C-alpha cells in the first residue's frame, strides 16, 4: 500500500471547459449549485459533527486539495433533505437513524480504545479502528441492530465517494472528461484523447507488486 497519493493528471480541471460546448445550460446550473450552495449543518448535532468530519477526513484525506470538497456538509444536507436511494435493508434502520446510531457507535468504539472520541484518535488508530469496524470486530453494545460492515460500506463509504466523485475536484483528479453535452467525444481508441480531454496521465507510484 502506498502511503502517499500522486495525482496522475496535475493541472487538469474540468471546470476550464465551463464555456465550451462540453457544457450545456442545465449542467452549468447544477454545478453552480454544487460549488456554491453549501448549507450550514442542519442534521447532525455539534458533538456528532466533529466525528462526522473526522470520519470524512480519514476516508477521503484531502490535505493536498487546494479546494477540499465539503463532504460532511453534503452528507448532512442529504440526510436533512431525506434523500433516499430506493433501498432499505431489512436489517438496517432508516438512513437517518443508522447514521445517528453509527456515529454513536464509532464514538463508543473510540472511547473503548482510550480516546475521548473518534476525532481525537491518532490517524493510525483511526485507520485501524475503521478496518476493524469493516471486519465486524467491534466491542460495544452500540452496534446492536446495525451491521457494522453494512453501515461502513453502504452508508459511510458509498455516500462519501458519491459526493467526492460527483464534485469537479474529484473528477478532475482522476482525469475524467467531465460534462460532455452537447459535445461528446471523437477519439475512441486506446491512448488517444480529444483535445478537450486530459492530456496523457502519469502514474509514478503504480508499480507496487
Partner 1 sequence: MSHAHRPRAIDGQAPDVFSRDDTVPMRQFADTDEVDFAIVGTGCGGGVLAAKLAEAGFSVVAFDAGAFWRPLSDFASDEREQEKLYWLDPRISDGADPLEFGSNNSGRSVGGSSVHFQMVALRFRPEWFAARSRLGYAIDWPVDWREMWRYYDEVERACAISGPLTYPWGPDRGRYPYRAHEVNAAGQVLARGAEALGVDWAPTPLATVSAPRGKSPPCVYRGMCKIGCSTNAKQSVLVTYIPRALDAGAEIRDLAMVTRIATDRQGRATGVEYHRDGQSRFQKARNVVCAGYSIETPRLLLNSANARQPTGLANSSDTVGRYLMVHLNDAIWSVMDDEIRWYKGPPSMACCEHWNYIDDHPDKDFDGGYAFMSQGPLPTDYARTLVTNSGVFGHELRRKMALYNRMAGLKMVGETMPCADNRVTLAEETDAFGVPRAHVTYAHDDNDRRMRRHARAFMAQMLEAAGGRDLLETSSTAHLMGGCRMGADPETSVTDSDGRTWDVPNLWVCDGSLMPTGGGVNPSMTIMANAARIADRIKTLCASGTSERAHG
Q: Give the length of the chain.
A: 209
Minimum Å distance from CB 104 to partner 1? Answer: 20
3-state secondary structure of 168: helix
With respect to partner 1, which residue has the nearer C-beta, 49 or 165? Answer: 165
Minimum Å distance from CB 110 to partner 1? Answer: 16
Residue 15 phi/psi, 5° resolution? -70, -20
CA dist 68 and 61 (Å) reads 9
Within 8 A by CB and 6+ apart from 74, the residues are: 38, 163
With respect to partner 1, which residue has the nearer C-beta, 39 or 88? Answer: 88
Cβ(83)–Cβ(135) below 8 Å: no
With respect to partner 1, which residue has the nearer C-beta, 109 or 173? Answer: 173
- Residue whose C-alpha is closest to residue 121's, from 50, 60, 45: 50
CA dist 7 and 175 (Å) reads 9
Minimum Å distance from CB 40 to partner 1? Answer: 20
CA dist 198 and 178 (Å) reads 10
With respect to partner 1, which residue has the nearer C-beta, 117 or 175? Answer: 175
Minimum Å distance from CB 157 to partner 1? Answer: 4
With respect to partner 1, which residue has the nearer C-beta, 45 or 94? Answer: 94
Minimum Å distance from CB 36 to partner 1? Answer: 15
Minimum Å distance from CB 41 to partner 1? Answer: 20
CA dist 173 and 182 (Å) reads 23
With respect to partner 1, which residue has the nearer C-beta, 46 or 204? Answer: 204
CA dist 49 and 41 (Å) reads 8
Q: How far is residue 79 CA from its own chain's centroid?
A: 15
Amino acid at each position: 500500500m502506498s502511503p502517499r497519493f500522486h495525482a496522475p493528471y496535475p493541472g487538469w480541471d474540468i471546470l476550464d471547459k465551463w464555456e465550451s460546448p462540453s457544457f450545456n445550460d442545465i449542467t452549468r446550473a447544477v454545478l453552480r449549485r454544487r460549488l456554491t450552495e453549501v448549507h450550514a449543518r442542519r442534521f447532525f448535532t455539534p458533538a456528532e459533527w466533529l466525528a462526522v468530519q473526522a470520519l470524512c477526513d480519514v476516508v477521503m484525506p484531502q490535505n493536498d486539495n487546494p479546494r477540499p470538497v465539503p463532504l460532511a456538509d453534503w452528507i448532512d444536507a442529504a440526510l436533512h433533505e431525506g434523500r433516499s436511494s430506493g433501498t432499505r435493508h431489512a436489517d438496517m434502520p432508516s438512513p437517518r437513524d443508522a447514521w445517528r446510531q453509527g456515529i454513536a457507535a464509532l464514538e463508543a468504539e473510540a472511547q473503548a480504545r482510550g480516546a475521548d472520541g473518534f476525532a481525537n484518535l491518532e490517524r493510525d488508530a483511526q485507520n485501524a479502528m475503521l478496518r476493524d469496524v469493516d471486519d465486524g470486530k467491534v466491542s460495544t453494545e452500540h452496534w446492536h441492530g446495525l451491521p457494522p460492515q453494512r453501515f461502513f460500506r453502504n452508508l459511510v463509504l458509498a455516500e462519501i465517494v458519491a459526493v467526492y466523485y460527483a464534485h469537479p475536484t474529484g473528477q478532475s483528479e482522476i482525469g475524467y472528461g467531465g460534462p460532455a453535452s452537447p459535445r461528446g467525444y471523437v477519439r475512441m481508441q486506446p491512448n488517444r484523447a480529444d483535445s478537450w480531454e486530459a492530456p496523457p496521465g502519469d502514474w509514478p507510484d503504480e508499480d507496487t507488486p
